[in-house]
Amino acid sequence: MTRLLCSKSRVAPLKRQTIPRLELCAAVLGAQLASKIKIDLQLTCPTWFWTDSEIVLAWINSSSAAFNTFVANRIAIIQEITQAEQWRHVSSRCNPADVLSRGISPTALKDCTLWFCGPLFLHGKDTT
């Protein structure tokens, strides 16, 4: 069974960033949040991380030394907390994080199964 345990979000900084850099910051935030939850709740279960950015996945699977300081520092954080094998790709249409970032009313959010339960494929159901 898959259910939302907690979430965390940040607004984009005033200094304009590229979409891949914003996605990378989101990946860092997710890795840090998962690490803290596992420690606080003393969980030892396997963990997977999902992103809809193929660029971020390529960065995570690369050496951080190959990139500029901004990207390299964030990749190093992700690689310190997680293993590259834990990261997976999810299509934007199945990405629960996009529910909030694209805007949704509180009324619609309370009934949003994508937000609270995740995409159907995590439950063994077809998404087509």
Q: How far apart are alpha carbons 54 and 20 in whole angstroms?
A: 9
The overall pTM is greater than 0.85: yes
Nearest Cα to Cα of residue 31 among 60, 62, 70: 60
Q: What is the pLDDT of residues 48-96, one digit of tens each?
A: 999 999 999 999 999 988 899 999 999 999 999 999 999 999 999 999 9
